[in-house]
Amino acid sequence: MEIKVLKDYNVLSYIVANIVEYQIQEQLLSRFILPTGSTPLGLYKELVSRELDWGAVMTYNLDVYIMNPDHPQSYQTFMKENLFNKINIYPTNCQFPDRNVQSYEQRLKGIPADLCILGIGTNGHIAFNEPGSSFDSRTRVVSLSEQTIKDNSRFFDSIEDVPTQAITMGLGTIMDSKRIVLMANGDHKLNILNVAMNGEVTEDVPASILQNHDNVEVFYCD
């Protein structure tokens, strides 16, 4: 698969914002699957700076930690602070997985998301589908791998504060999207990106499932 190498993080954020903007302009009632983490921060900043009409948009987040949604490090707080509180989206149109996993699947089933934006973990995870996750997996409660807990500890006071469980969309759920854009930023992601996009398609590298989707773009900057 082609990995489009971009000049820098600003260009990465700008190009993916263009894709989001085009989707909303083409279809006001668009459905997006959205990521958290450090990679999409520039994208969200860029989107906030544009005058887009989010009034009919529905969003579905990829995953949440199992923790108080009002906690400063929860993904619900992240989305509010970086995007939802700064655009004209209806709070009830911003959906997050919860323990009623079947209901979340139902909301996505039947009408696939128009665009799913993904990051990638250093172990090849997408959302919180850690290595070994079934390619058929759907939304479910998962335990985070040691690598992911270590990677995400930078957002917490100590590694002990990182939640050990999450609710994530499954790989099957993600693959139902009509279009997928994967964003990766930093040297530390390059190796896993190459393995995932051009190596063996295996459940040991969850992102490798994207090789089986016919509408995926992969953007990288160092």
Question: Which residues contact ligand PGA (rule: CB under 6 A)?
Answer: 37-39, 119-121
17's CB contacts (< 8 A; 6+ apart) are: 43, 46, 47, 50
Given the residues 46, 130, 151, 176, the one annotated as active site: 130
Q: How far is the CB of 118 from ligand PGA (least distance, A)?
A: 7
Burial class of residue 107 in the structure, from the number of CB atoms within 10 Å of its CB (0-12 exposed, 13-18 middle, 19+ buried): middle
Residue 207 CA: distances (Å) to CA of 15, 125, 174, 220: 21, 6, 11, 14
Nearer to ligand PGA, 121 or 163 (CB): 121
123 among known catalytic residues: yes
Nearer to ligand PGA, 44 or 54 (CB): 44
125 among known catalytic residues: yes
Closest residue to ligand PGA using C-beta atoms: 37
Question: How many C-beta neighbours within 10 Å does residue 28 have?
Answer: 12
Q: How far is the CB of 56 from ligand PGA (least distance, A)?
A: 28
User: How far apart are the C-alpha atoms of 221 and 210, rounded to whole Å?
Assistant: 19
Nearer to ligand PGA, 34 or 108 (CB): 34
User: How far apart are the C-alpha atoms of 65 and 76, rounded to whole Å?
Assistant: 9
Nearer to ligand PGA, 16 or 120 (CB): 120
Given the residues 105, 114, 125, 129, the one annotated as active site: 125
Q: How far is the CB of 158 from ligand PGA (least distance, A)?
A: 18
Given the residues 61, 123, 129, 185, the one annotated as active site: 123
Burial class of residue 215 in the structure, from the number of CB atoms within 10 Å of its CB (0-12 exposed, 13-18 middle, 19+ buried): exposed
* Cα torsion 183, 187, 190, 192: sign: negative
Given the residues 46, 61, 63, 105, the one annotated as active site: 63
Q: How far is the CB of 75 from ligand PGA (least distance, A)?
A: 11
Q: How far is the CB of 22 from ligand PGA (least distance, A)?
A: 23
Nearer to ligand PGA, 38 or 49 (CB): 38
Residue 94 CA: distances (Å) to CA of 5, 12, 127, 213: 31, 24, 17, 25
160 among known catalytic residues: no
Active site residues: 63, 123, 125, 130
